Chain A
Amino acid sequence: MSPQPQAAVGAAVPRVDARLRVTGQAKYAADNNPDGVVHAVIVDSGVGRGRITGIDTRAAEAEKGVLKVISHLNAPELPPVEGQFPPGKPLQPFQDDRIRFFGQPVAVVVATTLEIAQHAASLVKVCYDAQRPATDLAAADPAGEPETYARGDADEALDSAAVRLDMTYRTARNHHNAMEAAGLVARWDGDKLTLWEKSQATQYTAFGMSGALGMPPDDIHVISPFIGGAFGNAFSTWPHSVIAAVAAREVQRPVKLALTRKQLYFGVGYRPAYEYELSLGSNRRGCLTASAHDVRAETSRYETHIEDVLVPGRMLYSTPNVRQAYRHVPLDVNTPTWMRGPGYASGAFPVESAMDELAHELGLDPIELRLRNEPADDESTNLPFSTRRLRECYRVGAREFGWQRRRPKPRSRREGDWLIGMGMAAGVYDTARSESRTSVRLDADGTALLQAATADMGAGTATSMTQLAADALGLPMRRVTFRLGDSRLPPAAGHFGSQTMASVGSSVQDGCDKLRRQAIELAVGDEESPLHGVDPAGIVVQGGRLHVKDDPARGETYRRLLARNNRTHLEAMGSYAGAPESAKFSFYAYAATFTEVAVDARLGLVRVRRMVGVYDAGRIISPALADSQALGAMTGGIGQALLEHTVTDHRDGRIVNANLADYLVPTHADIPELKAIYIDGEDYEADPIGVKGLGEIVLVGVAPAIANAVFNATGRRIRELPIKPEALL
């Protein structure tokens, strides 16, 4: 078939659901109020480790309007669950008297109104036999075998290196803190369960809940058309979801349960804290000869959270000798989970800070050092890169940012009290793809409906898929509807890991191509069609009209074609098989982030003044949406670098800043002008539509760029995130 002209793809279009979102009509999970809905509030453990010795629910139950108080004393038995991602035993609520972490759910109160449930929850008295929890990564020992990687002999090469640097970096625990709290409404109809739940992957949620409740996944219907941000914490099965389902079954009413902001700090996962020891060896010219990476990460005692923190350190730069070890330190905490740029964003901070340190040590420009270590292929897999345009990212970024104005000598630019500095860092993120299907239906009225069980947490999935489909079908965008966020739709990749466009988008393309071919074949075989007998390869569709590519006057509309043939609709199932088992290439997206900071010499306060991010993310389907994602990630990266820090009181395991007044995230006043540039280029080795994923790569490298700029401004190398004013005094 002839390739379709590109009109919607690449255009800056408004979001297809924009009106719903700006008028308050978009329904998020807790916005659903089905008939008879009642409210549940969880009672959290007030100790960080130990056993429950007694629960007194009498006062709570005496409150008018309280329907039920459920705890391990009266909860239904749930099946034990064997976890795979992450490996371990997921916490099944109310199954025993053990307290594993501070804030663990110990009871739930169900009442007719939220106010009654909240008050009654405060009346539940819980007694504990408390022990001192271990919650400090720095003070605990790892368990199990480390995950390791090696090539060459790193230790010997480090010993003989002309230049050797040994550093220890630390990154704080971060919480996603999406604006919408995790929450759901659960309703039983006989044996069938409906969940209006915040979910990045409705079918994963149905599957996870089926395991937790011991029922077939097909009996669980998960509905999640709108998600108020998630960044990775809305696809695991968290205890509160199971609690809501159990509570709804117990009281025989639909139950609404939304975690409070405070409960989000222990009710769902987080980006784990890391300690990262890194040694670099190089020759005098700045060619890396060796690196050694010893990483410790926090996890819970009941599950082992794993993420790709080691990858940047083994493939971003050419290094003949590499040794890596990733050790898990189980603590009395709830289990971490993936947060935007998982692993890579944590690993890029040490690696990219260390490259800046080495550049300074050698008196080289940080970009020049990176260019001298650009690998010819992926040295960790010996595979060629499908595409790697990092050099171009550096070049474009340096020009746009004005990198040549940077003064190599630290602390050499001052404006009043402010020390000014510039920094940059590279970033990398895996191009993930997984199996997806999308159904496509073209109706006789010339409108199309596409459906796939993917989701949208803010990236604008429905919009970008509509752009892709509109071009592939030859329809204007307004005649195409894309439905997502429902577990009953065709199985598709979940909305995480930057895989949505590559995976679901490829199935959209396939489904639309199949459907267009059907229509074209119908026309050329129809004696009454003006296209009768034309070579199908020479036909394109534009504006809902099929026509000969070189003779636009010759053609007819889908509507006419379907009407004349008495067809109510045409339909096709698009599919994409996902990444092949054995890859012929190494697939990654790349970034270069440049920033200028001002540091108050007397107060240690760091302000980001401007930032430019340049990305090699393959083909860009929706430039306006891609731009918004990048600016949002820069904002998140500023938070990671300068503000975000979950503080635990290690005496009892309590998170002391479990709220948005004390866990600081960037606000309007923290964010200056930001600029994102996507360099041209497709990657058709990665997937049929040439994209590499962009939701994560745009975050990776922001924090080290800021840290490197702080060094350039002050001469102080801060190896711990967030960079707090006291570290700079």
Chain B
Amino acid sequence: MSTELTDPAVSPPAESGSAPTRRTFIATTTVAGGAALAGGLVAVPLPGSVEAAAAETPHGSRVSLTVNGVRHTVTIDNRTSLLDLLREHLDLTGSKKGCNAGACGACTVLVDGRRVNSCLTLTVRLDGAEVTTIEGLAKGDRLHPLQQAFIDQDAFQCGYCTPGQIMSGVACVQEGHTGSAEEIREWMSGNICRCGCYVKIERAVQQTAGRK
């Protein structure tokens, strides 16, 4: 086995039913306020609830959670991480898969206001949770101050770690772990940037914390 995700402890029995494909899933779930959304991408917070009617699977569970203000009720494979739910089922591909093993932070999102590695979080555990991803941070056209600070400080190069760095940074500021450059570095160290933008990420977090 070459992949790193499947933990034998959570593997389903060998007998499995048919899981919903992404397309059937999208077709049956992206309904908000009674209207189907073209394209299936929910990028802005909408009131109301998104109801899933995906096929039941023997190893599937029904979960209701809110993502960026939109409520989703999904029947999801028990093995599906929050990261894969976002990326492969909700088409919210802003959260990135860097290691799928909790070691890089590229997948960082907020769950009930706290930063988590979504690759290590099973969706079935999130009934009732409120999830915020990078796509849900800006208010319409108005960027979150930390998003703006990343632009101002040129705090990214390839941009692949950036969604995770920003989500982590938002939490870092909220947690108040911004007393000094050292403290920011310490509390941001779960987020790897291979392009090596640390100096500027720290400045961006500093800039945002200063404005708070």
> Residues on A close to B: CB < 8 A?
14-15, 17-28, 30-31, 33, 35-39, 41-44, 59, 62-65, 103, 112-116, 118-119, 121-123, 176-181, 226-231, 258, 260-263, 457-460, 624-625, 627-629, 631-636, 659-661, 665-671, 673-674
Contacts and interface: CB of A to CB of B under 8 A. Distances in A.
A667 B192 contact: yes
A633 B186 CA distance: 21
B4 interface: yes
17 contacts: A19-B151, A21-B156, A21-B162, A22-B150, A22-B166, A28-B93, A64-B18, A115-B19, A115-B77, A179-B106, A181-B97, A228-B158, A229-B157, A260-B100, A632-B195, A635-B196, A661-B101
A666 B143 contact: no
B147 to A, nearest CB: 4
A633 B158 CA distance: 13
B36 to A, nearest CB: 16
B156 A22 contact: yes
B12 A119 contact: yes
From DSSP, what is the main secondary structure of chain A's interface residues?
Answer: loop
A108 to B, nearest CB: 10
Contact of B158 (A14, A23, A31, A457): A457
Interface string B1-27: 111111000011010111111110000
B97 A113 contact: no
Counting chain B residues whose Cβ lies within 8 A of the other chain, the interface size class is: 35 or more
Lowest 3 A-B CB distances belong to which pairs?
A24-B94, A635-B196, A228-B160
Contacts of A667: 189-192, 198
Contacts of A20: 159
B5 A633 contact: no
Nearest to B191: A668
Contacts of B190: 667
Given A30-B87, A228-B96, A261-B4, 11 more contacts: A38-B21, A39-B88, A64-B19, A113-B22, A121-B3, A229-B194, A458-B158, A635-B196, A636-B196, A660-B104, A668-B185
A661 B189 CA distance: 12
User: For chain B, what secondary structure do more than half of its interface residues adopt (helix, strand, loop), or is it mixed?
Assistant: loop
Given A113-B77, A627-B154, A660 B2 contact: no
A23 B196 contact: no
Interface in B86-108: 87-88, 91-104, 106
A24 B2 CA distance: 28
Nearest to A459: B157
Interface of B: 1-6, 11-12, 14, 16-23, 77, 79-80, 84, 87-88, 91-104, 106, 133-135, 137-138, 143, 147, 150-152, 154, 156-163, 166, 182, 184-186, 188-202
A460 B162 CA distance: 15
A594 B131 CA distance: 45
A22 B102 CA distance: 22
A248 to B, nearest CB: 16
Given A114-B84, A119-B79, A660-B98, A23 B143 contact: yes
A262 B198 contact: no
B91 A661 contact: no
A38 B184 CA distance: 41
Given A179-B96, A228-B96, A113 B160 contact: no
Nearest to A37: B22
Nearest to B146: A22
Contacts of A181: 97-98
Contacts of A632: 157, 195-197
A23 to B, nearest CB: 6
A41 B96 contact: no
Contacts of B188: 668
A728 to B, nearest CB: 23
Contacts of A119: 6, 11-12, 16, 79
Contact of B194 (A113, A178, A671): A178
B106 to A, nearest CB: 6
